[in-house]
Amino acid sequence: MLDLTTVVDTVELEQILTLQQQNLVQNIDEIEMQTQGFVTMIHNIDVLQRMHDLAPSVIAKDNGRVVGYALVMLRECRELFPPLEPMFKNFDNLEYRDRPLNDYRFYVMGQVCIDKQYRRTGLFDQLYKKHKEIYENRFDFIMTEVSTRNQRSLRAHERVGFEILNTYSDELDEWAVILWNWK
Ligand SMILES: CC(C)(COP(=O)(O)OP(=O)(O)OC[C@H]1O[C@@H](n2cnc3c(N)ncnc32)[C@H](O)[C@@H]1OP(=O)(O)O)[C@@H](O)C(=O)NCCC(=O)NCCS
């Protein structure tokens, strides 16, 4: 049975990196990229550990192996992970419901990925349900961004309840900036 939980040790962080490698845009072919989705950002164990020290990420485990993850990245991590600086810069200029976005209590879902064999099972929704369960008292909502080329991920996020706030481009891609207001 799948265990929906939060990270507790380094082995799990390493397993997250393994799953990440398997789904990196440069490690899969064009058809897989278009149909299954892909991840762009590469973390390392040190960054994951420091993110974890601030707030543990949500994972799904099957028989002791991480088969899905949805990372928690607090805004305090901004300096920790420079590839996401364009995202945070974009946040600085955004408004939500007539107030500056940065006035709200939110965190970033840093990356979501599900092992191929566990897709189309409802696990995606469960990962986010767990986020809500753990973090809804401390935060108003979750932000994240998804490549506009990743239609599978965009559809799944929309189903959970994410809305698009804006779209912008940086040197890596064009991103849909999305927000899930779980109140
Ligand atoms: C993006 C990703 C996390 C989405 O997870 P998923 O399990 O594939 O997504 P879904 O839950 O939407 O499942 C895909 C389809 O199965 C359907 N489905 C979901 N749960 C189901 C269930 N229990 N039974 C039958 N079908 C189901 C969904 O409705 C969806 O249908 P659609 O494509 O017609 O909309 C996953 O595909 C993935 O890890 N891809 C590679 C990495 C990636 O793209 N990460 C996101 C970066 S932003």
Model confidence pLDDT, tens digit, residues 34-92:
999 999 999 999 999 999 999 999 999 999 999 999 999 999 999 999 999 999 999 99
- Residues 6 or more apart whose Cβ sits within 8 Å of residue 100: 94
Going from the Cα of 136 to the center of ligand 1, the distance in angstroms, rounded, reads: 23
Structure-block tokens of residue 32: 């897989």
Ligand 1 atom with least separation from CA of 119: 7
Mean pLDDT score of the chain, rounded to an integer?
97
CATH code for position 46: 3.40.630.30
| Each residue's pLDDT tens digit, 148-162 | 999 999 999 999 999
* Type and span of the H or E element at 10: helix 10-22
Q: Which domain holds residue 62?
A: 3-181
CA 51 to CA 41: how far, in whole Å? 14
CA 39 to CA 22: how far, in whole Å? 9
Question: Has residue 117 got a pLDDT over 90?
Answer: yes
The number of domains in the chain is 1
Grouping H, G, I as helix, E, B as strand and the rest as coil, residue 154 is helix
CA 149 to CA 159: how far, in whole Å? 17
Going from the Cα of 98 to the center of ligand 1, the distance in angstroms, rounded, reads: 33
